[in-house]
Structure 1
Amino acid sequence: MKTYINPERSTWANILKRPLFDVSDLHQRVTQLLNEIRELGDAKLRELTERFDGVQLGSFVVSEQEIAAAEHQISEELKEAIALAANNIKAFHAAQMPETRKLETAPGVICWQKPVAIEKVGLYIPGGTAPLFSSVLMLALPAQIAGCKEIVLCSPPDKNGNIHPAILYAAKVAGVTRFYKLGGVQAIGAMAFGTATVPKTDKIFGPGNQYVMAAKQLVSMNDVSIDMPAGPSEVLVVADETSNAAFVASDLLSQAEHGADSQVVLVTNNENTVKQVLAQVKSQLAQLPRKEMAEKALSNSILLVISDVKEQVDLINEYAPEHLIISTKDYAKLADQVVNAGSVFLGEMTPESAGDYASGTNHTLPTNGWAKAYSGVNIDSFLKKITFQEISSTGLQHIGPAIEKMAAAEELEAHKNAVTLRLKYINQNGTK
């Protein structure tokens, strides 16, 4: 873990570099696979599933019997936990549904915007080192609330050709309409292009490894929309002399155990806090089942002592973290100044884990500094908004002359004529 004491502002960008990799060769390989999926369909999906997942599948479709069996394979305690999380996620996202309001912008000119659900959405749920069934809730529940007609889920099968039962159970709870045993590039290609078995979707959501992320970016150029650009997960924790070092360390390790390429950043106002947190990290790390993975992430972690609060805020907004945890005495004051972050966790009793699972907020968030321009997944992610306008004769008389002048200035005579003809008609026939 690298420690920096009040580094010069000019060095921040270099210190806070994300652990990125050269994707040129990766994109070339993924492009080739996507082209073959587009051309060969299900046959290519079977070949890639056998090559990458090590299993031959007679069918990619998850049967009703498998879904029913999954329900019996998980404990009642986990079902109750999923139910609690689902209720909170539904409540938070349902409150985001926009209302349709008609506005008279000028006499006789009425405009409004109507939210309409995206008809077919595809959800990718990783199932490798960690079966992320929580992501099913985070994606499928807002899709269901928004009114998406088709919610397609793809998740990689294990060596026995099965999807983790918790993923299937969460999918049933959250209203998924179609389930497929597909992982990696083959899942993204199938949902982007459609095959004989898998329907083409209009927008693809969900996390994944570098191959999945590359595939999503490539198909988004011509074939399908995606939720957002994404990379390895990250957290920035702000602490001070009042912070509980054990809590801070647990938050850092929560992020580190996601993967070796996760980025972990601590910002504090004093060196003693750094020492206390490091001691706690060492103690807690030894107890983690995913210790080796967390250690790799921690080897690239960054500890920053920045005495000035304004500089702390500037650094946060420049870095634009996916997760921001503010565990300081005056956390509310600092939080008011944050303009770039995916999701913010306030106070020492608010761990990142809460947002990852059950507080109700969505955990699908922009990484790699994209929080400067992107929101995390929310109800709007599953909606498109269509504008309407209705103009009466009186209304056209109010705005028509302005339209004529503007169209003429842009030398678009047909645009002008479309108004001129109507105004002449009104003058001859009245405004009835």
Structure 2
Amino acid sequence: MSDQNQWQNAAWGAPLGGAPSSGGPSAGQGQAAPAQPAASQPAAPGAAPQATSQPQAQANPCGYGAPQPRPSYAGQPQGAYAAQAQAQPAAAYAVPAQSVPAQQPKRRGWIVGLAAVLTVLILGVATIGSCTSVFTSSMGAFSYESPSWADTVTGDTVGIINISGTIQYDGTTSSPEGLKSQLDAAEQNPHIKAVVLRVNSGGGVATAGEEMSTYIRDFSKPVVVSSASINASAAYMISSQADYIFTDKTTSIGSIGVIMSVTDLSGLYEKLGISVENITSADAKDSGAGNRPLTEEERAWYQDQVDQINEVFINFVAEGRDMPVEEVRALATGLTFTGMDAVENGLADELGTLETAVAKACELAGIADADTVYLQSSTSDLSRLLDIMGTEDSLDVSGTLKELENRVGLE
């Protein structure tokens, strides 16, 4: 047998225990399959052939491995698929893993959906809160509702009203409608002998401060002010109408004056390439639009308004503190004073705490002692949330827009 035939029998599987083939078909095998070329690169000339496609058949060392009859289909010519399978290298016995597309990351659509739902809910609650605040503000001045504290008050009592944050029209006790609602309730309740205003505010809208000052001035029962960290501008205008003012040593108090801001964004618009054309009924109608500077005539006009409002402020303080107008005018620098200086210059009466103010209220009411109750609107937790979300302070957008419009406030 030639070396070539021996190699073929070894490579393509001679029958176990059988004699090597001479190149023709073996007995009982039928027609042998033609030799298939190896899948590897051709061997170099003269090199010994290597069995790379199938493992060589090993002789049975025990002698009982007589050749078994082969089925008839074994002698049939192999198709292309079988030939290709035989031509695979030894490593092909391990079935290669099928190419599986990389698993796509889980879609986070539900997160986006949840965020959208929450956004809608927040905007809805804010809208309802704004509507609730407007409705409360509209009805507060025309209807009387018994507050939650009315049923709990028995015996001599001093009512405490908080005035904190910005003085504005928001329905709270820091607004004209909210303050008047509580003052009216205290006026009609025989157990409320006096009121203490706990003030912690830097001021706010001039008109709101004027209205609240009028309500305090016209209240028939004693009113005492307890100043917290700050009692300035419109808040001090309100405080000046009380019967007595307490302040701490470190309280910032006073700031008698008025400010009006007109924003000019024309320089920014020019840099951004933004052109704004105002169609107005009069030349000065767009003076506060913010896209052009004021003319000298417009500036003088606004200055005159500020001076008039400042005179109203000074007269309120002079009347409420029983001070000469010129003396108050000298203090109307727009600056605050410490509590100690305010006692010296007459803007406050005495240094003291909230408890000191309550004791003074009892004294002015002619009673030895009294319970205390905070006078505030009766609101559920949901209503309080709606009120908070309905205020301008809760929406940064409102604050941003206010910077782009005229603002008139006391400072």
Q: TM-score, normalised by structure 1?
A: 0.19
Hey, which of these two has a bigger chunk of helix by percent? 1
Q: TM-score, normalised by structure 2?
A: 0.20
